[in-house]
Structure 1
Amino acid sequence: MKNISFLLVCFLLTANNLFSQDFKTPVEYLNYISKEEDAISKNMWKYTKTIAHSKSARKIDATRKNLVKSIQLAKANIAKLKNGYKGDTEYKDQVINYLSVSEIIINEDYSKIVDMQEVAEQSYDFMEAYIMTRDLVNARMDKEHEVVVAGQKKFAEKYNITLTEGDSELGKKMKLSNEVFSYHTELFLVFFKCNITDIMLLKAVEQKDIAGIQQNASSLLLYADEGLQKLTQMQPFKKDATLLESTKKSLEMYKKVANEYAPEVINFLLFNTKFEETKTSLERKSDKDRTKEEIDNFNQMVKDINKKVNDYNKMNTKFNQDKNNMINQWNASGDQFISRHVPND
């Protein structure tokens, strides 16, 4: 299956070009720092949009580098405010610390997460670890951001400033994007748990491992039923049920694999084993030692195995085509869902 991209959504504090100077009022000081929001917020939004709407790794990395540069520039400019506001540097220092953490996360932690993503599809445990790490990084960013928000409120209270509550337009878009990716991830994990189990089932089929086929078919049926039950508790995303329905269809397909495909494979392998044993036994005997009954039985088995091989190949072709179509459909639904709901302006 093709890789499903997962976004490291970070909510960055924003700030503008600041120069070493004195401020006449605390409001002027806060406003000056707040103007840094434009550069970083716009670059963060470009980064989010690029991941949502582009498949170009080069373009995505270029927007990430621009984001990092805007953070570095803002940090350098704010650092020039040596005296903060009339010697009060607490809030300024909190902002600089937050920007430093943001830079480290985007440069270093993000790089580690990308490395984890490269192996995430090898197992469900790897995928869970990747998503958990990504969420922990986001949580770290949120925690650092809360410190800055608290520092801003403390500064405002200290100097009797009334802060205007409410999200900016960019803030609203970032919040919506985070909800979109979170919803997509939740359904992806339901789909992926069955998908990776089906891959293991196919490996068992290739190895003619009957016990492995039975075990993975049983797990696949369990995960498909669990997933379908979970879907009944989920609501469409803003009245959009496309990804929900696509996930439901994929689980129903995996149930057919477990209930219909796997048993037929086992029956074929058992008959094929019996045929090979009969053939070997007959070949070990000389012509004079072979009974008519044995020969007639073997000849009938030859006819049966030829028909079963033909039926088996047809079944394999059909299930493989149906599954490939289903996987492609789920991936397309996931991409379209993200593209449809993450704003592109």
Structure 2
Amino acid sequence: MKIKLLLAITFFISLNLKAQEFKSPVDYLSYIGKEQENISKSMWKYTSAVAHSKSARRIDNTRKLLVKSIQTANKKVSALKDGYQSDVEYRNQVIEFLNISEKNINEEYDKIINMQEVAEQSYDLMEAFIMTRDLVNKKIDAEYDKVSLAQKTFAAKYKINLTEDVSELGKKMKISGEVFDYHTQLYLIFFKTNITDLYLSQAIEKKDLGAIQQNSSALIQYAEEGLEKLKAIKPYNGDNTMVLITKKALDYYKKEAQQFSPKVVDFLMFNEKFDSARKSLESKSDKDRTKEEIENYNGMVKQINKEIDNYNKISNSNLQEKNTIISNWNATGDNFISGHVPQG
């Protein structure tokens, strides 16, 4: 069962102006601010779709609408060739921001999606994917900081007072960023054990005793490290569901490595012993087989049948518990995000 990591690239532009004089420069700022507000609304629709929609098509459609709103704003701002009375510094900074935003949300998005497709193959790849995703956000944030500085410089130059009030949309975007960051933090703790469990399952399938023991030891280590990290993570706005479900998952993985894996090793070792005895007996003619060898082999046949039956039972039980844990973790993560990311 695959686990899910929600992809969200979030940023927000807020512009609230209060003019005291120089009406023309205020109109200039307001014009650009209106275009930025349109982008913010499109960005919020995209963020809300990521948090609340199960439709990949709807999410991608809202992303495309976001890109279109950036392109529209870029076209309108670029048309202000002379800026305000030949003062083009603020205009140019906004255009640079829009260009970088479009590139990152459009072109970089495809790269991130491609990385996400292979990220579940290893913890290092998953970390690289998340770091790349976060880097996109930081690039956009850094460019917006430049826009904000240029805006303040322009306002100071023309004696315009800018209010620092955060709009309702701005508050929603801030909350959304916090929710996704909190989810990602716990996801990485969970994923480190989940991917190690996958390696353990592959080793069991290959009957590789060395790899089974190696991955079991790693699974215990990562589970214990994760449980220690969870102690420092506080509930999000009183909601401790993500911490609790992650703890439950880590407890399971630790138990699997400590209790299930040794039983697997014992079964595989007995199976090897049985195969060796069978091959040895089959290599001899009837007249060369001793009574002791035959009795020993017949006893092992009865024992191997019991061992196979018992192994199938514990394997099925372990698999059911694992699938339940992963399913519950995914459901809890979905509910956490949809429950805390504002709607509308």
TM class, shorter-length? over 0.9
How far apart, in 1, do the equivalents of 2:160 and 2:110 lie?
A: 40
Tell me the equivalent position of 1:72: 71
Amino acid aligned to 2:310: D
Tell me the equivalent position of 1:240: 239
Q: Which runs of 5+ in 1 are unaligned?
A: 16-22
SS of 2:161's equivalent?
Answer: coil
Question: What TM-score do you get using the length of structure 2 for normalisation?
Answer: 0.95
How far apart, in 2, do the equivalents of 1:44 and 1:289 lie?
A: 81
Shift of 1:288: 3.0
**RMSD across aligned C-alpha pairs, in angstroms?**
1.4
Tell me the equivalent position of 1:228: 227
How far apart, in 2, do the equivalents of 1:224 and 1:136 lie?
A: 28
Shift of 1:321: 0.5
Tell me the equivalent position of 2:7: 7
Tell me the equivalent position of 2:141: 142
Tell me the equivalent position of 1:19: none
How far apart, in 1, do the equivalents of 2:209 and 2:338 lie?
A: 42
SS of 1:344's equivalent?
Answer: coil
Contact kept, 8 Å, 1:279 with 1:298, in 2: the verdict is yes
Shift of 1:14: 6.4
Q: Deviations over 1:167-198 (max 9, x none)?
A: 11111111110111111111111111111111
Tell me the equivalent position of 1:18: none
SS of 1:7's equivalent?
Answer: coil
Shift of 1:35: 1.8
How far apart, in 2, do the equivalents of 1:7 and 1:309 lie?
A: 43
Q: Which moved more, 1:82-91 or 1:314-323?
A: 82-91
How far apart, in 2, do the equivalents of 1:26 and 1:58 lie?
A: 42
Tell me the equivalent position of 2:18: none
SS of 1:60's equivalent?
Answer: helix
SS of 1:36's equivalent?
Answer: helix
How far apart, in 1, do the equivalents of 2:112 and 2:3 lie?
A: 14
**Higher RCO (CA-CA < 8 Å; seq separation 6+):** 2
Q: Which moved more, 1:283-292 or 1:197-206?
A: 283-292
How far apart, in 2, do the equivalents of 1:221 and 1:248 lie?
A: 13
Tell me the equivalent position of 2:185: 186
Tell me the equivalent position of 2:167: 168
How far apart, in 2, do the equivalents of 1:269 and 1:7 lie?
A: 41
Shift of 1:232: 0.6
Shift of 1:24: 4.5
Contact kept, 8 Å, 1:14 with 1:39, in 2: the verdict is no
Q: Which moved more, 1:274-283 or 1:243-252?
A: 274-283
For these two proteins, the number of residue pairs brought into alignment is 338
How far apart, in 1, do the equivalents of 2:32 and 2:284 lie?
A: 94
How far apart, in 1, do the equivalents of 2:202 and 2:158 lie?
A: 68
Contact kept, 8 Å, 2:14 with 2:166, in 1: the verdict is no
Shift of 1:67: 0.7
How far apart, in 1, do the equivalents of 2:150 and 2:268 lie?
A: 69
Alignment of 1:101-140 (within 5 A): 101-140=100-139
Distance verdict in 2 for CA 1:178–1:162, change over 3 Å? same
Shift of 1:81: 1.6
How far apart, in 1, do the equivalents of 2:36 and 2:144 lie?
A: 13
Amino acid aligned to 2:8: L
Amino acid aligned to 1:28: D
How far apart, in 2, do the equivalents of 1:288 and 1:230 lie?
A: 65
Tell me the equivalent position of 1:159: 158
Q: Deviations over 1:90-112 (max 9, x none)?
A: 10111111111111111101111
Tell me the equivalent position of 2:280: 281
Instruction: Give aligned-pair identity as a percent.
Output: 58
How far apart, in 1, do the equivalents of 2:102 and 2:300 lie?
A: 70
Contact kept, 8 Å, 1:231 with 1:244, in 2: the verdict is yes
Shift of 1:289: 2.8
Q: Deviations over 1:217-266 (max 9, x none)?
A: 01111000000000011001111011110000000010111001110000
Tell me the equivalent position of 1:195: 194
How far apart, in 2, do the equivalents of 1:274 and 1:341 lie?
A: 56
Q: Which moved more, 1:261-270 or 1:153-162?
A: 153-162
Q: Which moved more, 1:256-265 or 1:4-13?
A: 4-13
